[in-house]
Chains A and B, each alone.
Chain A
């Protein structure tokens, strides 16, 4: 196990390097620059800005300069937010994204697992169909529909919670729900499918024959195997949910980094986009590693082995 972790961490460095290089190339291929906008700038002003941000230098020099900075932990200056470093912007925004995303992930896990198991135990009956229909709806409804609806009903009409904003615990309620719904729906579906499938496996029938209690059967024998698809799903899902959603952050005005990716790309804020890409890639690598460790632990065939 330790060797696997070590190997994966060693591979992570060139992986990140390749991602940085590809992302840099893609950003530079895209037409338009950070200072092209509705308000036109005179050529002299445009030239001065390009010089200031070294955009007048050859591409290779820009690339070397950027990679050198990243190696030192410096993601460079933002092109849109003057006098701000990308590292600083991400450091300020990431905690908000992680807070909302983390709570949403926990809620999604609780609701998804609970409903999935509950439905699986009633497979084929009305309760199961209702839960699965609800899950399908949750998956199908895009967050840009759920989010404004929630704000309108609970914020404007009922005045139970703030419409949007940041600061109090009340501000977390709507974005967490809007963010958690599709994830909870996915988890419920995966859990139900897993539990139903494993429940009919020969080893479970054998266990049933041995008169083991229902609870013990579920927790010790069915769930560890049934949850493997859920765990695989959680790796990229966690990285996605923790780095923020542009829709949720925009509608509920959450000061996270989710919107930096889309806004940064639209504004050609090269360094900001690169910074978010690196954070996202690093999280994906970490969570995929955690998932692999969890899968090894869950799978009775590999559990307890030292490799």
Chain B
């Protein structure tokens, strides 16, 4: 349905091309930001989608925060240090921290909040981000009490977090919107209703003014925010617009200032009409196909390797996606924290003809030839783009004796099937939670039930990732990770296809917008020229 809507709308939009002038801005303290969809939770510990996270990051601030470039900067903590073994992090809070109702914020608020996230009763979708904190896995499984978590207050202004393995990017982890502190005194008073617009109290750059669900959310500058004097906007309005074309039309009419995405096929037209207001940036997110490695014929690594090798990624990004995506031969995107040059499969430098020849040889050895073809099914979740990509790949495989059929289901069914293992080959994707290699590679650990759709089980890979995670020396850590990824690529439980891009429309008179890998944009940095 949405595809039809988008398609029809795109046609009409193309019909009126040419540069578009937006009307003059009258109020330079009020910014209108579009969210992908209506948010699902105001309680930061219960957020699950990007829209939720945008609002939570504007209303709340964690121990650290993200600068315009999405690099970690001091947030509620002014400084932090880590012990030599990389396991004990100490965060010093700033003086004069206050909730928006004037109640002082102390280290105990942070201890309370981390325990609340990991508490099974909270059912926080992002609880697994805390798994590297001492005691977290046992608490999440209900085997231990939340107060056994390795987070402590040492006096009113010091928060200590004890990890079970080093994490060099930990300051970036605690900046994540799902891990911010929440006001215990308000939760004690209202229970689950604390996050209703009339009750909510926050500590970030903006606070709740009003919210009409599915219509608009109005946030006001929080005068008690620790860095309030650096916040230029007085009013921040979030509009939930799930139809991408509606958002584009409203941007063209000057009704909104930031649009979070637009349809891929609109890229060239919008570039022509809106010029530099169209911002396309590479992201830390990977689109890949996953094999069920326990089911024939994909229990044979040679078959998986051959199929991965035979996919020519360049036409996918150039002709189908078009909006500046980058092809992927590995799981971890380039420029991921401390990783340097990512691992590549051994065939990365071969020509596509060489790859096809080798793939045909590998398949022939397992009895798959154009004369004795193999029928396989690619599972995708409903989307025009997924379908076109699958069809293109089917064509690339056909000369090798692979007959592809597509199996298309809605997202809820698709991902339930992946989780339960009801597939042989399917489309999947991963968006990094933070800028770290292990946030990509942990997916394929053999015990990662729920995320390791491939049921990939390699003791060597597990050992390398675990050794990497245990190493406190960054160079050593990255070395293990690179070896682990090389192992992953050699075993080919997945076919990495491309890295996502973020596609935004940003009004030309906004200052403080910085395109970044993480696609994180706190509204506190925005001001009008």
Contact = CB atoms under 8 A, between A and B. Distances in A.
Interface of A: 30-46, 48-49, 51-52, 80-83, 89, 92-93, 96, 144-145, 148-149, 151-152, 155-157, 159, 162-167, 246-247, 249-256, 259, 262-263, 266-268
A272 to B, nearest CB: 11
B416 A31 contact: yes
A42 B449 contact: yes
A45 B241 contact: no
A144 B285 CA distance: 32
18 contacts: A32-B413, A42-B128, A44-B137, A44-B141, A46-B450, A48-B140, A81-B40, A92-B212, A144-B4, A144-B5, A155-B253, A159-B23, A165-B255, A166-B215, A247-B1, A250-B246, A251-B5, A255-B214
Nearest to A171: B215
B33 to A, nearest CB: 14
Nearest to A50: B123
Given A159-B253, A166-B212, A43 B124 contact: no
B interface: dominant SS: mixed
B287 to A, nearest CB: 11
Interface in B373-421: 381, 410-419
A38 B128 contact: no
B215 A253 contact: yes
Given A36-B415, A144-B5, A251 B243 contact: yes
A189 to B, nearest CB: 25
A149 B249 CA distance: 11
B123 A83 contact: no
B96 interface: no
Given A83-B193, A165-B250, A250-B5, A39 B450 contact: no
Given A32-B410, A42-B451, A48-B127, A163 B246 contact: yes
B252 interface: yes
Contacts of B41: 81-83
A14 to B, nearest CB: 31
B410 A266 contact: yes
B429 interface: yes
Contacts of A36: 411-416, 419
Q: How large is the interface on B (under 10, 10 to 19, 20 to 34, 35 or more residues)?
A: 35 or more
A250 B1 CA distance: 11
B448 A164 contact: no
B213 A255 contact: yes
A171 B127 CA distance: 41
B450 A259 contact: no
Given A144-B8, A148-B249, A250 B413 contact: no
Nearest to A143: B5
Given A40-B450, A42-B449, A82-B40, A163 B250 contact: yes
Interface of B: 1-2, 4-5, 8-9, 12-13, 16, 20, 23, 38, 40-43, 46, 48-49, 120-121, 123-125, 127-128, 137, 140-141, 192-193, 195-196, 212-216, 239-243, 245-246, 249-250, 252-253, 255, 381, 410-419, 429-431, 443, 448-451, 453
B412 A259 contact: no
B8 A163 contact: no
A247 B431 contact: no
A51 B13 CA distance: 46
Given A82-B41, A83-B41, A148-B245, A48 B120 contact: yes
Given A38-B429, A267-B412, A45 B140 contact: yes
Contacts of A33: 412, 416
A144 B1 CA distance: 9
A32 B412 contact: yes
B215 A148 contact: no
A38 to B, nearest CB: 6
Contacts of B216: 165-167
A148 B12 CA distance: 8
A53 to B, nearest CB: 8
Nearest to B15: A152
